[in-house]
Amino acid sequence: MQLDERKVKILQAIIRNYLETGEPVGSRTISKFTDLNLSSATIRNEMADLEELGYILQPHTSAGRIPSDKGYRLYVDTMMEERTREVEELKEMLLEKEDKMDHLLKQVAKVLAVNTNYATMITAPTYHRNKLKFIQLSRVDRNQLLAVIVVEGNVIKNNIVQVTDELDDETLLKLNILLNTHLNGLSIEEINLGMISALKQQAGSHSSIVAEVIEAVGEAIQADEDLEIYTSGANNIFKYPELADHQKASELITAFEEKRMLTQLVQENLADENSTGIQVYIGDETPIQSMKDCSVVTATYELEEGMRGTIGIIGPKRMDYDKVIGTLRQLQNQLEELYKKK
Amino acid sequence: MQLDERKVKILQAIIRNYLETGEPVGSRTISKFTDLNLSSATIRNEMADLEELGYILQPHTSAGRIPSDKGYRLYVDTMMEERTREVEELKEMLLEKEDKMDHLLKQVAKVLAVNTNYATMITAPTYHRNKLKFIQLSRVDRNQLLAVIVVEGNVIKNNIVQVTDELDDETLLKLNILLNTHLNGLSIEEINLGMISALKQQAGSHSSIVAEVIEAVGEAIQADEDLEIYTSGANNIFKYPELADHQKASELITAFEEKRMLTQLVQENLADENSTGIQVYIGDETPIQSMKDCSVVTATYELEEGMRGTIGIIGPKRMDYDKVIGTLRQLQNQLEELYKKK
DNA sequence: TGTTAGCACTCCAATCGAATGAGTGCTAAT
DNA sequence: ATTAGCACTCATTCGATTGGAGTGCTAACA
């Protein structure tokens, strides 16, 4: 059996309707809902075919049909019109030029959640080929040094280093120069043991400080590991009865709290170099077990070559894919534009 | 009518039992549960009295009794034995000496949530009389300066300052000296407009940079405002049927996400100078509307004079007050000890 | 041959009533 | 003052009933 145009139209109608109501949709509804001018009986025949083809399924005999994951997949892949929508609120917010990245990201997550009524997440952009840009050692206390490490993309890390021996200003300056001249512009692969021991030797009696600083540098560059993830709108899952039962809700909320679990979503997307940057995971397709009753849409944004972050939306399978993808597209552009302006 | 000793014992038994089961408790249960050797009928009479006195109430006629807020209050205030428990896991974790405060706090929140099965929150310690300790301006890029601001308690803030005019190293050094000599050790009240304009004047053509740095300093010192709050175990609310219905769960989860709402809990506690640092809010006593069906226990910890943070536990009214308060006490000590060791 | 009307059938969801049982309040006896 | 006993209340549970939405199938029709 083939999937002719009429079947596609009917499938589309079923999905559209189901997205709105969340209830299984019957033949009579489709008969009236579409402009095909077919009786419910005909629709029934077609629906039987569609079920056989695996695009829809019945929760139980004598119930209406709901889309299967395969049905959603077809819908997302081929049937969605590209729409451009205004995301006015977002635009305005971004124009305010929040200068603190984390504030901005929290805001984005929140606005997105409020706008879409789904749960959202966003990660800070991270460099993939992180390079060290600048190191500064300063004395803040008699026996405390502050190491400030700046990597490309102006990601800043602070580290307090305890020192036993006192350092005069001159030595500190020397250490600073030593570290900066040797390490700046290097990526994590380029800082090897040989270089480290050479540096230590040059630092003489202060080699332990150098060691600590280098360790801190390593942590700073390898920032991907504990990638910050901001989430918002977790409570939105209560708006969709199919997700809101205790068991599922609890698991989902847990997944949101344990942000580490969300990294799975992110990693995959960031690795994928060539794509419009938008990924849709329907039901079982998602890598996160507790989200198998959800759909997840992720978008990668790229502020500059190699510096990427991810935005994600988690909602019920009957999510308004059209709107979500549109919104994410907008957002990608906004973020990228914002960055250029700065 | 008076609250004699027997009534208190019965009330205590009712509460204990209710804490365990979460179900209304009847006279027969108490009759067997306690060592008073009274028949259920007698208990019934006493319970009627207790109800009249407002310590317990019936969800409906012919149901058992549950404690009222007033009953819990009496229990917490007078009837709880002080117990000391081991919190081994916590201890071990703290001994590992996490050097990043925010990591540590996240961990504490999490361990506490896992241990108690309630939702938890913790705020970073903040100075109340914040003083500037150290400023460092460094050039990271042709037209970008990095301002690192350290306030007492080693809270570090970074700020990127855009500059149009280029600065040579010497000027930068002068600016650093200028800022440090004039501002170090000052609190926010002490940095007034007069001082600012004097500084600007001394900075000459670079007055705009000074202005930006000072603004950043202001933000850094006034950190209380956007007080970081870490939460964990929000999913625990699903473990208590009385909190897990859609409406309430949704509101609670929202409150946890919107951490701003939680600050209400914190502020009050931090302000209160004299107390063991532990506060119990039962039901309507809490300042947060959406938690009116919960109890909240907060503890203040103090790392050094004036530098305080808050730990909080949010659970059902039938929370195990005894254990929770014990655990929080332990934790206060651990945190304070940890700090001294460093 | 594709479409449609009609009908029997299925099954969920809601409704109702009876039975159950935990728990109470009250009274009378101890 | 305490207790046994009894009538009463009310949430909960269970089964039976019903209504209705929706299907599948068949026969008629264009």
Q: Could you tell me if B244 lies within 8 Å of chain A, comparing CB atoms?
A: yes
Q: Which comes out higher in pLDDT, residue B340 or B245? A: B245
Q: What is the DSSP letter of A4?
A: -
Query: What pLDDT score was predicted for residue B95?
Result: 45
Q: Could you tell me if B80 lies within 8 Å of chain A, comparing CB atoms?
A: no
Instruction: Tell me the CB-side half-sphere exposure of residue B159, using CA atoms within 13 A.
Output: 24
Chain B positions touching A148 (Cβ under 8 A) are 136, 138, 146, 148, 158
Q: What is the pLDDT of residues B36-60, one digit of tens each?
A: 899 999 999 999 999 999 999 999 9
The confidence band for A86, taking pLDDT boundaries of 50, 70 and 90, is: very low
pLDDT over threshold 90, residue A99: no
d(CA B103, CA A4): 57
Query: What pLDDT score was predicted for residue B23?
Result: 92
Query: What pLDDT score was predicted for residue B129?
Result: 58
Q: What is the pLDDT of residues B260-309, one digit of tens each?
A: 889 888 877 766 665 678 899 999 999 999 999 999 999 998 877 667 88
The confidence band for A127, taking pLDDT boundaries of 50, 70 and 90, is: low
pLDDT over threshold 60, residue A249: yes
Token digits for B67? 């404690």
Instruction: Tell me the CB-side half-sphere exposure of residue B241, using CA atoms within 13 A.
Output: 5
pLDDT over threshold 80, residue B92: no
Query: What pLDDT score was predicted for residue B335?
Result: 81
Closest-CA distance of chain B to residue A109, Å: 12
Q: Give the nearest chain B residue to A176 (CA atoms).
A: B138
Query: What pLDDT score was predicted for residue B256?
Result: 93
Q: Does pTM surpass 0.85? A: no
Token digits for A225? 């590991």
Mean pLDDT, rounded, of chain B: 84
Q: What is the pLDDT of residues B60-78, one digit of tens each?
A: 988 999 999 999 999 998 8
In single-letter form, the type of residue at position B120 comes to T
Q: What is the pLDDT of residues A162-197, one digit of tens each?
A: 777 778 888 888 889 988 898 888 877 788 888 888
pLDDT over threshold 70, residue B226: no
Q: Could you tell me if A154 lies within 8 Å of chain B, comparing CB atoms?
A: yes
Q: Are A320 and A19 in contact (CB under 8 A)?
A: yes
Where on strand C do bases come within 7 A of a protein Cβ? 3-6, 9-12, 21-27
Chain A positions touching B257 (Cβ under 8 A) are 231-235
In this complex, the answer to whether residue A62 has its CB under 7 A from any atom of chain C, a nucleic strand, is: yes
Contact A144 B154 (CB under 8 A): yes
d(CA A255, CA A252): 5
Q: What is the pLDDT of residues A4-36, one digit of tens each?
A: 999 999 999 999 999 999 999 999 999 998 888
Q: Which comes out higher in pLDDT, residue A234 or B210? A: A234
Which residues have a Cβ under 8 Å from the Cβ of A332 and sit 6 or more positions away? A277, A299, A300, A301, A311
Helix (H, G, I), strand (E, B) or coil at A135: strand
Mean pLDDT, rounded, of chain A: 84
